[in-house]
Each structure stands twice: as structure tokens, then as C-alpha cells.
Chain A
């Protein structure tokens, strides 16, 4: 794209791009996100390239390698326009068929369509699929329409129009007022009002100010930020540009964890393209406004998502938090006023500027506005990214969108808010999803991880998992966080090994209170949440482990027994072959049995048994 020197220029460039794109009779969008890459989408894309060449269709059919539309579990995904046909689990072998049937003859390839699990109907377009039906996709909308490495694609869907509007039709105060009026709250976890943060940073005296985009996304089980930065990097840049203009910042950083190489790469490409197009650097859009952005890589430490640790990490120091007595908006990066926001927060900005605060605040609940992206994963049928208006209930997300339990086992809870959050039990699934309701329920919105747990999940094991996770990720600066979490881990280890007593639970609660009260940063302050919420809602499970020495979910190895149901066993011998301790006896074609003195509870026999004859108690 040529250099754009004014707002009118931008509009002309957009018209030109659109008219150029019109010459294609069809568009094939292959998802190129990290999830689909794991399923081999790169090969699928190459097969399309070859196939289109062979059929001499290259000039008439456009092939796009897009960002993630969210239904990663069904990858590789391919969408065909203009008919809007959604193909899932596409393999290289399917490609010639798609070209000959759909592209050349307009017929559908039945076996690639999504099938409704209830009525067995084949569904053609993604909007009709239950997974997408109840969603409200504002931020993710363009992910499957644009190639994230092509700035033209973003401009074609109206990209950078909000920037032009902000610079030419608004002054910084008006922009900040618009963001404040919209009610946008930070999507990184704590939910701090974005406009207010911007205002504080703008008002702080100083010539040099910084803004930061937090794409550390340390919450395990969450990938919203990855998909946004990877799939639509220019929307983040545009948000940052508007923020920089409003706050008066001249330099920005996008901090990306190193586990997200594609997101980092796409951010780099977007920065280069925006600079070449006159949308970044000096004299942006001919307005005299200067702003630069660079990326910084994270080292994969969870604590580096915390704002002060993140800043230390960009400065080349050890990523340890510091006291927040002085806020980062006053003294952040290199002691200068710094405004830090999450990826999804930045992505909302262009939408608000373009469509107005009134439109935005009409979506959501009284205190939680707009949409929120969740990564719905775990023991649920449909997994992937879902974008929903705030205020939707957990039940709607888990059952309508997620399709309910994965393989028959009843769903018992959902974990939200990552390691700072907690588990919400199924009887509270009518709760609306907003910042305040989730906090009241003892969990939190967090950045958007939503991990569904079923009867096969042990809540004591979950509590133990989070405590160990946080103990390993603690930077170790504060004694209560370092030692307290270690001790809590030991107690939970004891309970799952059958060595717990009633005292253990009180000690656990006492320690939890101390760690929460006396730790310096958010990691330590919220670390006890997963344990406390588990104790609050699932205390009987803890008591079963302690009193009965029994793990009802069949997870804690020390407390379970394996046995083979005589009437179901077909005597195939698969378990006998796999058993590492030779604990299984029995002749071929005859019922097998487990010698419990030899069994190490590894569970291998149960995994290999085709007829589900192995039982766990």
C-alpha cells in the first residue's frame, strides 16, 4: 500500500483495495492460526495453491490465510465466500474435491460440513452452528475475513478509519471522554475503567510517556489475546495509536510471551506495514502526530503479566513486581508515566471511537459493558473462543455454545479467572457473566479462561494444581508467597495421598488468609482463591479424601483401586500387555483380574481397555 498522507487518502486507498478485491469471483479462507497449524493447515493451504494453479483459477479465486475464527477444536477450518460455506476438519485429500465440487460446480462437500449433534442436520454457514449462534462477535468478526499479514485487508474492512476520526475530528479530551462514557473496563483481569486510567496518565506531567500492550497472557487455558494479536494485529495497533494520541505518548511496546511466536511475528509485520503506509512513525496521516511502537518478548514467567514485573522485564531487568505505592501511570517504564492495557482492551478502542460510546454501552450489563472473549475449554463438547455480550449466563455459554458435557459425565463446575480465580459450581450457572457477579461467587472474570470440569475432575486435585502452579511461578520476593504456597502445597499433597486430617483444612484456610493479606503483588494476593473457592463449594470432596481415604472422581492415585469387571472383560489381554508392574493375571479369552498388591495405580489398563471393563474405585 502506498503512503497515506491524509484522511481522504485513506478513504481512497480503501476504495481502490475494494475494487481490486471485487475481481475475484470467490474467496477461500484457510485459518492459519496456531491451533489450525497444529492440525496441519499449512499443508491444506499449499494444496489449495497447487489446486488453483492446476485448474487455472488463480486470477479468479483468492486464497487467504487468515487468523483464528475461534472453533480451533474443529480445525483446520476453511470458509468459502461469497456462499459462506464453513468446512471443518479439512484434510489435504479434501482439497481437490472442494475445488471441483464447490468452487467449480457450486455443490457442497457433505462430509466437511458441521453436523448438529441433536438432529444430525448438516449445517452450511458458521452462523448457523450452535457454537456460533449465541455469540456476539465484534472483536473476532474480521478474523476470518482478513489476512493478518496484509494491511490492505484490514483497511478494506474499515481499518484505521477510527484513527483518522480520532485525530481529525476529536481532541484528546473528547477521546478520553468517549472511552470513559463507553464504560469500557480493562480485560486483563482486574477490570479497572480504561478511560479513567488514560485520564490519569494524560494528566500526569511529563514530556515522555509510554503505552504498553500486555500480550503476556499468562493464564493457563486462555488464548484470547493470542488469537486477537495473531489474527488482527492492526486492530490492536489502531487502538494503541488512538490511546497514544489521547494520552500524549510517543512510544509504545507490545509485550508478547515467547510461546506465541506467530502473534509476535504478525505484530512485527503489522508494525512495519503501518510505518510504510504512514500510519505509524512521524507525521501520522499528515497530522503532525508522531508515535512509534516496538515489540518486546517475554520469557514465559507467569508473574511477568503483572504490570510492574512486565515493565521491569522490558527494561532488561529480572521480572519481579515492585510495590504499587506509586502507580505506573505516574512512574512506569524508566520512571516515566506509562499506560498499560491488555490486548483485548486495546482492540475495543477502535470500535468505540467508530460507533460511539452510546452504542458500546448499550451492550452488556449496568457495570460491565461490551462483549468479552472467553476461551471455553476442558470437559465440554465444543471448545474454542467465544465472544459474548456481558451478562449472558454461564449456562448459556457452557450448554448452548459449548454443547454441554463432553462424554456423558455430568459437568460439575467451571474454573474462571485462571490462577487468581476459582471454581464456580454448576448450581450457580444461572449467574450472569460480568465482573461483579463472578467476584461475588468467589471467582473472577479474569482475562477469560473458562475451563469446564466434570465428574472426572477432582476438586482437591484442582486446588493442588493451582497452588503448585503458583508456587513455581512465584518470583520468591515475599516470604508469605514463597513459603506459604509451599506449605499449602504440602498440605494438599498430604490430603491427596491419604495423609490429611481435619486439622489440615483449618491450617489451609489460615495459611490462605496470611498469604492473601501479606503478599506484595497480585499473584500472592489472589493465590489462595482457587483453594478457598474449592473449599467453599466442594468441602465434602476434601472430607472424603480425609475421612474415607477416597477420591470420588478417581483421580488421586494413592486413594484409588483398580479392578476388572468379570462380566465385561472379553479377555483380549490388552491390559496385561501394557501393565508395567505385571499386576494383571488371566488367560486369553478369559476374564482377567488385577493383583492389587502389585498394582501401582497408573491407570494404563483402564486407558487401553476397549470394552470399559476396568473400574476405578
Chain B
């Protein structure tokens, strides 16, 4: 695997241990997951034990050690979104994609994530598709968005 970007990312944060989570997030943004070789590089440059690094990478749900799908669907499961009908959207998405939160569809087209709160509770329930926010969602609208991406085929991002 080509890991040219990893050194650059670590340099950007001057290989500081306090930036560990930022470094891991940047690597994940670059490769769509945390490749093992990248983690080895981080451990050696930050002078960390690789096991400890794995401990950190698996502690946070926002990190993935396996490649994620081409499209990411994130649902908020915060309280405000919950009382406004969030669970119904999640139920529908699980059915539509036939996966559980944290998983990726077999064809690698979609990953389904849940987060605790995105901080835009005033417009809940909230859903984020490939970085774009959708407020005041309901399951019908959510389904339509996913179907639209599916129709575009398995190609690149929407």
C-alpha cells in the first residue's frame, strides 16, 4: 500500500502525541480507514507501543480498521433527534442497506454510522450523507436519498 501521505500528516502535527487523534482522523480521511501499515508508521514516529496505539484506535467508534464504503451515511442518535423520530430513520436505513451501524455493505457502496450528537439538534432529526447535512429528516426522505445514490450505480461518489 502506498503510504506517502502518512509521513506528511504526521509532520503536519510535528509528530506530537497530543495530536494523535487528529493524526488518526487525517489518515482515515485519506485512506477511508486506518491501514495497519499506517498505524505501524504512526507508532514508530510517535514512539508509541503499537498495542497501545491499537488500544486507542479501537476505543473510539469513529475509527475503522477495515475499509469503509464509498458513501457514508451517518445518523444522529442524540436525544433531540431521538424524540423527533430518529429511531425510525435508523430502522429504515438498516433495512434498506441490510447492515447494522458500524458496518459496510458487501458491495462496499455504503457505510452506516451513528453518532451521539452533531450539535445541530434544533433541526433534528439529522442525517449526514457524504458530508452533506440533512435536517428535519424522516424515514421517507432518508430512503429517497439513499435510493437516488443507488440508482446512480456503484460508481464514484454522488
Contacts and interface: CB of A to CB of B under 8 A. Distances in A.
3 shortest A-B CB distances, which residue pairs? Answer: A299-B60, A220-B78, A38-B133
Interface stretch (B103-111, B114-122, B148-156): B114-122
Contacts of A602: 91
A150 to B, nearest CB: 23
A260 B119 contact: yes
B4 interface: no
A173 B134 CA distance: 49
A45 interface: no
A418 interface: yes
B139 A377 contact: no
B79 A258 contact: no
Interface in B43-83: 46, 48, 52, 55-56, 59-63, 77-83
B121 A607 contact: no
Contacts of A466: 79
Given A296-B21, A318-B59, A226 B119 contact: yes
A197 interface: no
Nearest to A224: B119
A410 to B, nearest CB: 15
Contacts of A259: 115-119
B38 interface: no
Contacts of A319: 59-60
B119 A223 contact: yes
B61 A38 contact: no
Interface in B117-155: 117-124, 126, 133-135, 138-140
Given A221-B117, A379-B83, A258 B21 contact: yes
B9 interface: no
Chain A contact patch, size range: 35 or more
Residue in B24, B52, B79, B88 whose Cβ sees the most chain A Cβ within 10 Å: B79
Contacts of B140: 607-608
Interface of A: 34-35, 37-39, 72-73, 75, 217-223, 226, 253, 258-260, 294, 296-302, 313-320, 375, 377-379, 383-385, 415, 418, 449, 451, 453, 457, 462, 465-466, 469, 473, 475, 580, 602-604, 607-608
A608 B92 CA distance: 14
7 contacts: A38-B123, A217-B117, A258-B62, A318-B55, A318-B56, A378-B79, A449-B121
Nearest to A452: B83
B19 interface: yes
Contacts of A258: 21, 25, 62
Contact of A297 (B21, B59, B126, B139): B21
Given A37-B133, A449-B79, A451-B80, A72 B20 contact: no
B32 interface: no
Q: Would you call the interface of chain A mostly helix, strand, loop, or mixed? A: mixed
Interface string B1-45: 000000000000000011111101100000000000000000000
B22 A297 contact: yes
A299 B63 contact: yes
A217 B121 CA distance: 13
Given A316-B48, A377-B122, A607-B139, A453 B60 contact: no
A301 B80 CA distance: 18
B77 A220 contact: yes
B133 A418 contact: no
Chain B contact patch, size range: 35 or more
B18 A34 contact: no
Given A465-B79, A465-B82, A221 B25 contact: no
Contacts of B61: 299-301
Contacts of A457: 83
A453 B79 CA distance: 10
Q: Would you call the interface of chain B mostly helix, strand, loop, or mixed? A: helix
Contacts of B25: 258, 297
Contacts of B79: 220-221, 378, 415, 418, 449, 451, 465-466
B134 A38 contact: yes
Nearest to A73: B122
A495 to B, nearest CB: 17
A360 to B, nearest CB: 27
Given A383-B122, A451-B79, A302 B116 contact: yes
A220 B152 CA distance: 34
Nearest to A449: B79
B58 to A, nearest CB: 9
Contacts of B120: 34-35, 38, 72, 223
Given A37-B133, A296-B19, A603 B88 contact: yes
A580 B133 CA distance: 28
A604 B116 CA distance: 25
A219 B116 CA distance: 8
Nearest to B61: A300
Given A258-B21, A301-B61, A378-B79, 4 more contacts: A35-B122, A221-B121, A299-B21, A301-B60
B22 A300 contact: no
B119 A217 contact: yes
Contact of B135 (A39, A217, A226, A418): A39
Contacts of A377: 80, 121-122, 124
Contacts of A320: 59
A316 B17 contact: yes
B18 A294 contact: yes
Nearest to A75: B123
Given A35-B123, A223-B120, A316-B48, A299 B18 contact: no
Contacts of A302: 116
Contacts of B81: 220-221
A52 to B, nearest CB: 27
A469 B114 CA distance: 12
A602 B138 CA distance: 13
B18 to A, nearest CB: 5
Interface string B83-103: 110001001000100000000
A43 to B, nearest CB: 12
Contacts of B116: 218, 220, 259, 300, 302, 469, 473
A37 B134 CA distance: 10
Contacts of A35: 120, 122-123, 135
A299 B133 CA distance: 20
Given A39-B123, A451-B80, A607-B139, A316 B117 contact: no
Contact of A221 (B24, B52, B62, B78): B78
Contacts of A473: 116
Residue in B52, B82, B83, B119 whose Cβ sees the most chain A Cβ within 10 Å: B119
